[in-house]
A = this chain, B = another copy of it.
Amino acid sequence: MLTSQRKALILDRLRRDGQVIAKALADELELSEDTIRRDLREMAGEKLLKRVHGGALPLSPELPDFSTRQGVSSDEKRRLGAYAAKMVRPHQTVFLDGGTTNAEIVRHLPKDLPVTIVTHSATITVELEHHSAAEVILIGGKLYKHSMVATGAAAMTAISSIRPDMFFLGVTAIHPARGVSTGDFEEAAIKRHIAQCSAETYVLATGEKLDAASPCQILPMAGISGLIVPADISEDSLVPYQAIEVPILLA
């Protein structure tokens, strides 16, 4: 690996993760920590990053980016996103629903992973700009602006022609008895349709979504292949879901 590539990688990680740990990166790239630290020292000299004990941080905490990055993703969402990104195997076809949590999945997907991403979300599509090896299929239709996804008959038809290996479903609420749900009827129908076309359906759930219900059910819990929750969630809150035998994955 060329030095300049390594430095570009470091900048990339800073943008993506908001931090770089010297030791972790040294392990990952199979180089000595000295080399990484030297890079960090030089880059700090060029005002490209801020050195801190143990690694480095971006110079400007967060670029004031538009709607895509509006919700400064919580650490919780980043962990869920990283976990889900690791589930994706090369050459799979993955359907990504809209939402900030799913945007985190994209940010953790390796930029050179050969994979087919299908999405009906404009914001997810924009996030995929620099994933050079990813084939992106954009589902069109009437835009539902609240979540910036395509809906309607055209979207339904387009989705029908695809059989994704896995679907990362975005929801607003999860309840043991009332399943996964969202606020809009049309959106719920689309999400349900995508799930039916997909081999597996996973839901990324931050803590505050558990044991809540929104007006429109998408699927009963039995329709979910797996629920991905932060590892530090209280065990009590998971009991009702273990009871109905939904596979729970700890991120």
A148 within 8 A of B: yes
Question: In chain B, what residue has the closest Cβ to A55?
Answer: B2
Question: In chain B, what residue has the closest Cβ to A129?
Answer: B67
Number of chain copies forming the complex: 2
Instruction: Encode A4-39 as 1/0 by CB contact (under 8 A) with B.
Output: 110010000000000101000000000000000000
Stretch at the interface among A75-83, A131-139, A199-207, A231-239: A131-139
Point out the residues of chain B lying under 8 angstroms from A53, CB to CB: 2-4
Q: Is the CB of A126 within 8 A of B123?
A: yes
Point out the residues of chain B lying under 8 angstroms from A145, CB to CB: 128-129, 132, 136
Point out the residues of chain B lying under 8 angstroms from A122, CB to CB: 122, 125-126, 138
Residue among A57, A138, A142, A154 with most chain B CB within 10 A: A138
Closest 9 CB pairs of A and B: A140-B140, A136-B143, A122-B125, A4-B52, A138-B140, A139-B140, A138-B150, A2-B54, A122-B122
Knowing that A4-B57, A67-B129, A136-B143 touch, tell me 9 more A-B residue pairs with CB under 8 angstroms: A2-B21, A2-B53, A62-B130, A122-B122, A123-B126, A125-B148, A126-B148, A137-B141, A140-B155
- Provide 5 A-B residue pairs closer than 8 Å at the C-beta atoms, listed in order of the A residue: A125-B143, A128-B143, A129-B148, A136-B145, A140-B154
